[in-house]
Structure 1
Amino acid sequence: MSEESQKPLDRHAWNVLILVTIFWIADGYDTFVLLITARPTLHDILPPEALPQFSTYLGVLVAITLAGWATGGILGGWLGDRLGRRKTMIAGILLYSVATTLSAATSSLIPFALTRFFTGIGIGAEWGVGTSLLQEVWPEKWRTKGAGLLQSGFSIGGVLISGVWILVGSTLGLSWRWMYLFGIIPLIILAFVHKSIPESTRWVKQRSRGAEQALFGTPALRRNLIGALLVSISITGGWWAVASFLPTFVSSLAKDPRDAAFYAGWAGTLYNVGEIAGCIAFGFLAESWGRRSTTVFYFVGSLIVVPVVFLGLSTVGEVTWAQLLAGYFTGGLYSWYTVHTPELFPTRFRATAISIVFSGSRYLAMIGAITAGSLAAALGGFGKVAVYFAPIYLIGIFAVLWLPETRGKGLPD
């Protein structure tokens, strides 16, 4: 084990976790804001004759967000390995904060879709470099647990947006546009803390060596990249084609518009509370059980819970409370990205590789989101659609077992 990996968990490491997690919370907010406020948003920006195709248009907007996320992720990873983690992370935050804020000023579908695309680019660009920065700064003994804590920040953003929407949309009865105006807050925070965001010393040392190697240069790296992409497709496809529509599904069970906002907000809150628990627990379980066994456990749980939530429960209250379990498994799976993937690739192109894994699968998830939305429109809701998409979690089970177990092997240089 290297000297750097034996460093204690000091104030510098905690400061990095806090800074990166703050912007992970903003990522979660800017991602969930569309899903939580979907019905009033689309009722405002769509012409009346398009409203019967609400599910289809929502699927398209989700797909556009994913396209931006995937594009930004791959570009951000490439820049992060060449310009540094810090500069790329700051650029991503600037972009998604401005784009989210501008969404509040749109009045029709195309401008709104453009702002969502650029929001996705910013979030994607930040994600890979932020994950790399944390993993490269935290000491070896604590990396896995720190990764689980980091990923939970995204879910905290989901809890935040849900709570704010209960207040703004249900209690106060205000416009959905307020939810997007709050997107300016990360930009304000960045203005105060940007000088405190450090550069990865691992990246600086690797950069000074001038070592060059192709990402596909060895059979082991090719295997890791392909296997990780398959796991990612399973996690991402399942979430965006099924789980992402849970708040909308819950709101559809309510009759009154204010009740719909209330239950959608609580469904999002409970889902993200479950996701926070799942993300944090993933880091601890992965250290005890290993990366592969923990991931299989979460995939099996997701495979079971999705059909139960959509088809096995009947009342809006039951479905709302069931979001705790759905969030734990389908959302908690996202800690696999921060725990396992950084250990599969060396420092010189870690940000590129994990960004390809995390963001590349979103191009395929776009198809799932559009298909799910179209099927929901044709079948009269998202419940039956879950049955068709839940088996995607089987792909992840086989793919993660194909990857190497990295517990105890350290972060490769």
Structure 2
Amino acid sequence: MTSPNISVEDVPLNRFHQLLTVRSGGGSFVDGYVLSIVGVALVQMAAGLSLNSFWQGMIAASALIGIFFGGFLGGWLTDRFGRKRVFFVGPILFMLASISQFWVESALVLFLLRFAIGIAVGIEYPVATSLLVEFLPKKNRGPRLATLTILWFAGAAFAYVIGDLILRHGGDESWRLVLASPVVIGAVLFVLRMGTPESPRWLLSKGRAAEAEAVIKQVYGNDFSLRNLPEEPKQKKLSFTSLLHSGYGKRMLFVAMFWTCSVIPVFAVYAFAPKVLAALNLKGDWASFGSVAITFLFVIGCIIATRLINSMGRRRMLIQSFAWSGMALLGLAAFHAGSEVLILTLFGAYALFIGGAQVLQLVYPNELFPTEIRAGAVGVGTSLSRVGAAVGTWLVPMALDSYGIAFTMYAAAIVTFIGLAFSIALAPETRSLNLQQAASLS
């Protein structure tokens, strides 16, 4: 990397990029862990705190409610005070709220602590992804952001493994250790993030050119300077509150709708897989095998999408993902009384094909908005999608009990096809564009 003419978006990946991927991806790993660990502890926790069904539901939903507020807050903080400072807010909140759960004695306090953890998760999405995307080379931007989705599932799987080990060997009060266990991961993440520089793009947006140039030289070498950083599109200064009145309102609508439509069925299916499979007449070993296989195929689908994101392109991948996963859900509705093999095949197809939409949740919002409002846009997408996830998760048991499995699967298919319609109408192609071109309205 010695050419004074090469753009920083065309350089090869270096050690800094690798480390920043770990630093940013650690937030997604913790996110998957902290959101899943409460389910591991639920039975023993409910007995220990004498929780009724109302409080069990509220505690399970508390983190999703926190994410709604955290997404808005994190986006505003990141755009206002910079990526570097806010990068440490999530790990600190993870540690404080997690360790406090060890001494919890009431449902209300546990709800508030889980709510605080949700706020931390909501903050993580805009700060970690915006910082990462603003340093990554163009050709690595999509795959690296998509990898964060895989890390979420890895964190969720790790939670089930660690939580089960603690419950097996920790005694009657081991649920407290289970809930407190994220403090270790939060501490590791905090240490890993020490020494992370500020985004030069954000520094430039605040008129701090000398500091931006110093970061560029630190990351890319002394032969690089501000001349190697592609210039931001010329436009009036943007604030996030004016976003919907600017040309970026259509992009925000697209991000909010496709993100929401892609997570509603996934969260509902993932949270209630055993109940849904039982409604599809899969019981015993078939149900156990099905739950594991579906989780595995969610991960495989995300991995395949990550590998194809540059060759296939963003727009085509999103449209194909919604179309084929929606067809799989229609199949589950139409053939809900079919054989075990057919049901698992259709369920597996849904898990596999939805991977494209899943990985693009963090790619599109980071590419479609300029530096000044990038984190805010990711925060809004995070918040609105979690509203959909919470509503969908809340409705699934009632829909199954009141209307049956066929209706529930048809409803999930309709939501998926709504996402498809918005994608066909609004999804742009950003694969070959640098970050400035992708964020430009011209």
Please report the TM-score for the alignment, with normalisation by the length of structure 2: 0.78
> How far apart in 1 are the matches of 2:49 and 2:404?
21
Cα separation, partners in 2 of 1:191 and 1:234, compared to 1, 3 Å: closer
Segment of structure 1 superposing worse, 31-40 or 349-358:
31-40
Amino acid at match of 1:220: G
Hey, what does 1:42 align to over in structure 2?
Answer: 46
C-alpha distance after superposition, 1:227-251 (max 9, x if no partner): 1111122023223333332266679
Task: Indicate yes or no: 2:104 matched with 1:106.
Answer: yes
Hey, what does 1:142 align to over in structure 2?
Answer: 140
Segment of structure 1 superposing worse, 351-360 or 214-223:
214-223
The structure 2 residue matched to 1:276, chosen from 293, 299, 309, is: 299
Matches within 5 A, 1:134-173: 134-169=132-167
Task: Indicate yes or no: 2:387 matched with 1:389.
Answer: no
Segment of structure 1 superposing worse, 197-206 or 240-249:
240-249
Question: As a proportion of its length, which structure holds more helix?
Answer: 1
C-alpha distance after superposition, 1:175-212 (max 9, x if no partner): 43332121111232145323233322222222226972
Hey, what does 2:200 align to over in structure 1?
Answer: 201
Hey, what does 1:360 align to over in structure 2?
Answer: 384
> How far apart in 1 are the matches of 2:38 and 2:291?
12
Cα separation, partners in 2 of 1:298 and 1:22, compared to 1, 3 Å: same
Name the SS of the counterpart of 1:70 in structure 2.
helix
C-alpha distance after superposition, 1:322-353 (max 9, x if no partner): 87655434465321122222111111110001
> How far apart in 2 are the matches of 1:399 and 1:188?
40
Cα separation, partners in 2 of 1:110 and 1:396, compared to 1, 3 Å: same
Hey, what does 2:25 align to over in structure 1?
Answer: 21
1:270–1:321 contact (8 Å) kept in structure 2 = no
**In percent, how many aligned pairs have the same letter?**
25
2:76–2:375 contact (8 Å) kept in structure 1 = yes
Hey, what does 2:251 align to over in structure 1?
Answer: 224
Cα separation, partners in 2 of 1:142 and 1:331, compared to 1, 3 Å: closer
Matches within 5 A, 1:11-410: 11-47=15-51, 50=52, 54=53, 59-169=57-167, 175-208=174-207, 212-215=237-240, 216=243, 219-246=246-273, 263=288, 270-306=293-329, 311=336, 327-330=351-354, 333-376=357-400, 378-379=401-402, 385-403=408-426, 404-410=428-434
> How far apart in 2 are the matches of 1:348 and 1:31?
30
Gaps of 5+ in 2: 210-235
> How far apart in 2 are the matches of 1:100 and 1:254?
36
> How far apart in 2 are the matches of 1:411 and 1:146?
14
> How far apart in 1 are the matches of 2:132 and 2:148?
8
C-alpha distance after superposition, 1:1-38 (max 9, x if no partner): 97121122111101100122223211110111234444
Cα separation, partners in 2 of 1:31 and 1:291, compared to 1, 3 Å: same
Deviation at 1:92, TM superposition (A): 1.4
Task: Indicate yes or no: 2:11 matched with 1:7.
Answer: yes
Name the SS of the counterpart of 1:8 in structure 2.
coil
Segment of structure 1 superposing worse, 266-275 or 298-307:
266-275
Gaps of 5+ in 1: none
Deviation at 1:161, TM superposition (A): 1.5
Amino acid at match of 1:182: S
> How far apart in 2 are the matches of 1:381 and 1:170?
36
> How far apart in 2 are the matches of 1:402 and 1:173?
55
Cα separation, partners in 2 of 1:102 and 1:239, compared to 1, 3 Å: farther
> How far apart in 1 are the matches of 2:187 and 2:374?
29
1:98–1:183 contact (8 Å) kept in structure 2 = no
Aligned-residue CA RMSD in angstroms? 3.6
Cα separation, partners in 2 of 1:409 and 1:236, compared to 1, 3 Å: same
Cα separation, partners in 2 of 1:101 and 1:6, compared to 1, 3 Å: same
Q: How many residues are aligned here? A: 400
Please report the TM-score for the alignment, with normalisation by the length of structure 1: 0.83
